[in-house]
């Protein structure tokens, strides 16, 4: 029996940004539900962070989530088992109050899990492990140590795994806790990675510049063969456009089609700008095509070699981590890096 695996959908992401909602909708309408229908898959495990905000849900974001995801899933009679993730819970010390349990009661096809438990499903018994916090830590560890199951689906923070490419988690649970399992699937970290036992399946779409060019999508798991198949989302939100007009003409610029980047975030990397008119034409075509956001990064070639500058073509966290690494007055650089990363991630959810 095959089931779809999805995680970290983050409905309402980027301060309930309409462009991101449209981007999410394109994935579900063009990729996710057509694939499930084509392969007659009627079961889904969602591993948490259904919604983006811990404290409240925007009405428009909830409406969009129902239109793009919850209603089509109910219409297609897809049975969904859904974990509470850390972004779904109101308190940081307990999962008792969480958005999926409160907001999705009208959907009889959805079962939500706030507490660790064993579930028999697709002729297999495995652990369903929501976000582990102070309130459920002991019961979660006791279940892990005492279970005879060799499969787990969870929303876990495990030490040593990549949160995003090149940035590894320095806190969280010891991976040795999960050595007894054949396979552990988890949400929480958006970058797809595994160590042969623990599989961070990654979220289905890009939500910030740190996700640039990093494959996103969802998985299909066969409970009989234990085969895991990745289905990539071809739609990207973040793009880099390298501007170099040394050999360009007005006809070359006019022939560029930016309609495919409607509502997308574009970073223009200026390598050579010898004709300001052509550059203005590019900007005008982008805006008329409905590009969601444009950032221009000018070339730093004219700077002296010993002059310090920030490469804006990099993502924010890479810039911060590089700066911290170069500081000579900070003793515990790893701790500061973790603190800055947590503050940055929380800032993405603030008004």
User: What pLDDT digit, counting tens, does each position of 162-212 carry?
Assistant: 998 888 999 999 999 999 999 999 999 999 999 999 999 999 999 999 999
- 154 and 15 assigned to the same domain: yes
pLDDT > 70 fraction of the chain, expressed in percent and rounded: 86
Residue 50 to residues 10, 62, 231, Cα–Cα distance (Å): 5, 11, 19
Tell me: pLDDT of 151 over 80. yes
Tell me: pLDDT of 127 over 70. yes
pLDDT recorded at residue 27: 98
Report the C-alpha dihedral over residues 66, 71, 77, 78, rounded to 10 degrees: -30
- 244 and 166 assigned to the same domain: no
The model's confidence at residue 299, banded by pLDDT at 50, 70 and 90, is low
Query: Do residues 219 and 201 lie in contact, with contact meaning Cβ atoms separated by under 8 Å?
Result: yes
The model's confidence at residue 308, banded by pLDDT at 50, 70 and 90, is very low
pLDDT recorded at residue 247: 83
- 66 and 195 assigned to the same domain: yes
∠ CA 50-221-110, rounded to 5°: 35
- Could you give the CA distance from residue 215 to residue 202 in angstroms, rounded to a whole number? 9
Q: With left for phi above 0 and alpha for psi between -120 and 50, is residue 272 left, alpha or beta?
A: beta
Final residue belonging to a domain, choices 174, 204, 232:
232
- 149 and 127 assigned to the same domain: yes
Tell me: pLDDT of 271 over 60. yes
- 14 and 144 assigned to the same domain: yes
How would you class 234 by CB atoms within 10 Å of its CB: exposed for 0-12, middle for 13-18, buried for 19 or more?
exposed
- Could you give the CA distance from residue 203 to residue 117 in angstroms, rounded to a whole number? 23
Final residue belonging to a domain, choices 172, 198, 232:
232
- Could you give the CA distance from residue 211 to residue 267 in angstroms, rounded to a whole number? 13
- 57 and 100 assigned to the same domain: yes
Report the C-alpha dihedral over residues 96, 100, 104, 109, rounded to 10 degrees: -100
What does the pLDDT average to over 295-313? 56
Domain containing 101 equals 2-232
Q: What would the pLDDT profile of 236-252 be if each residue is shown by its tens digit?
A: 999 999 999 998 888 88
Q: Count of alpha carbons within 13 Å of 319, Cβ hemisphere only?
A: 12
- 221 and 303 assigned to the same domain: no
The model's confidence at residue 351, banded by pLDDT at 50, 70 and 90, is very low
- 70 and 116 assigned to the same domain: yes
Q: What is the pTM of this model?
A: 0.85
Count of domains for the chain: 2
Q: What would the pLDDT profile of 8-36 be if each residue is shown by its tens digit?
A: 999 999 999 999 999 999 999 999 999 99
pLDDT > 90 fraction of the chain, expressed in percent and rounded: 77
∠ CA 278-282-284, rounded to 5°: 110
What does the pLDDT average to over 113-124? 93
């Amino acid at each position: 029996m095959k089931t779809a695996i999805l995680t970290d959908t983050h409905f309402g992401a980027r301060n309930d940004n309409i462009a991101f909602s449209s981007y999410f909708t394109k994935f579900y309408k063009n990729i996710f539900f057509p694939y499930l229908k084509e392969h007659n898959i009627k079961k889904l495990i969602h591993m948490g962070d259904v919604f983006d905000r811990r404290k409240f849900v925007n009405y428009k974001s909830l409406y969009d989530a129902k239109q793009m995801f919850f209603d089509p899933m109910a219409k297609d009679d897809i049975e969904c088992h859904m974990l509470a993730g850390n972004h779904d819970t109101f308190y940081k010390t307990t999962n008792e109050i969480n958005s999926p349990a409160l907001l999705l009661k009208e959907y009889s096809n959805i079962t939500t899990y706030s507490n660790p438990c064993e579930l028999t499903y697709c002729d297999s018994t495995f652990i369903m492990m929501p976000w582990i916090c102070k309130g459920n830590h002991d019961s979660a560890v006791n279940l892990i140590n005492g279970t005879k199951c060799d499969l787990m689906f969870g929303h876990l923070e495990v030490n040593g795994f990549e949160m995003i490419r090149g940035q590894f988690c320095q806190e969280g649970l010891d991976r040795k806790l999960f050595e007894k399992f054949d396979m552990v699937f988890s949400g929480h970290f958006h970058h797809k990675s595994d160590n042969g036992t623990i599989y961070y399946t990654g979220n289905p779409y890009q939500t910030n510049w740190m996700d640039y060019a990093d494959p996103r999508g969802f998985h299909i798991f066969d409970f009989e063969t234990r085969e895991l198949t990745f289905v990539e989302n071809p739609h990207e939100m973040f793009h880099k456009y390298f501007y170099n007009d040394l050999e360009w003409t007005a006809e070359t610029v006019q022939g560029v089609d930016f309609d495919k980047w409607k509502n997308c975030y574009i970073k223009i990397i200026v390598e050579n700008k010898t004709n300001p008119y052509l550059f203005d034409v590019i900007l005008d075509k982008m805006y008329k095509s409905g590009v969601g956001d444009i950032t221009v990064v000018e070339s730093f070639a004219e700077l002296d070699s010993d002059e310090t500058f920030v490469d804006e073509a990099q993502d924010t966290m890479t810039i911060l981590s590089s700066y911290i690494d170069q500081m000579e007055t900070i003793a515990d650089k790893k701790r500061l890096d973790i603190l800055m990363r947590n503050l940055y991630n929380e800032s993405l959810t603030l008004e």
